[in-house]
Amino acid sequence: GEVGSPGTGGLARTPRLPLVLPFLQYPGIAQSIRSDVDNFLSVLKMGVTLPEGLFAEKTLQVLQKELHWECDYVREANCARRFRQLLEGDPFFEVPAVVDDLSTRRVLSMELVGGVPLEQCQALDQETRNEICSHILRLCLRELFEFRFMQTDPNWSNFFYNAQRHKVALLDFGASRGFSKEFTDHYIEVVRAAVDGDRAKVLQKSKDLKFMTGFETKAFEEAHVRAVMVLGEAFSTMGPFDFRTQNTTRCIQELIPTMLKHRLCSPPEESYSLHRKMAGSFLICARLGAVIPCREMFEEAYGQYVVQKQNVVSQRTSDVRERHGPGTPSGGIPPS
């Protein structure tokens, strides 16, 4: 079956396609998950003592929504189609086609792909492992800042590497989600600030993103900024970053107690799945022993994002002028 999926998979043949992989959802699984999370929330409200900064109820509500998405195979099929369209013609990634005739709300059928999950790629040569990881991180940046639509489950088994074709097939789109332009506008500037070592800007942009209220203690502010700087280390390092020697996980673990003690608000909903995907992708790079130039990737993504924003502003200005005639200021009021 599919790892982390509320169902099971098997092979099937059809007249049109040689092999199809249908995923069949266990009966009643969606209702069971919803009931279990509701019961757990009830227990929490009865007085279970957890750190206030964990915001456990909000965390569980986000988890419940994501599990509901995972159980909706119609939604997942639509997400798979969207990713297949977004990555059409990509030289490295491919998305198997959804077999519409054999898919329903409880059954998802897709073309069978060849290859092995990334956990079986650790013995490949360094150059190949570096290339795989470079593409995975570059895809993360494209998903967030170009598509504003991300498959947020970084499970090893969701990436199948085909050595003969030198391609990676992407699988399992149940945890896919979109991001608003407002969120990505602020988030890319947080990363930019981390890359530049601008701690004051990291703090301000984190407040703009609603990671903070502005009334946090100095201890929390310092821990938060430190965490962002640690997470941004790969993108701030000049030249190749050696994921084999990084100690990101240990550094973040040391900061967690302070952040749980002093946090005043829950993080933005988008950040839960986003940070899971980024952390999982970094872990893939570490497990595969990647040594790759990450800063170049971010600089490219940032440059494209800025140009895109400028083009949007220019287009809006042009549209206003067309509607109101030449010489009309952006507010649409003709000069006196």
The one catalytic residue in 38, 101, 125, 153 is 153
Q: DSSP assignment, residue 107? A: E
Q: Please say if 153 is a catalytic residue.
A: yes
d(CA 190, CA 204): 9
User: Which of 261, 286, 318, 205 minimizes the C-alpha distance to 53?
Assistant: 261
Alpha-carbon separation of residue 143 from 9, 183, 221 (angstroms): 27, 13, 29
Count CB neighbours of 207 within 10 A: 15
Q: Are 265 and 54 in contact (CB under 8 A)?
A: no
d(CA 256, CA 60): 19
DSSP string, 2-39: -TT-SEEE--B--SSSS-EEEEEEPTTHHHHHHHHHHH
Catalytic residue list: 153
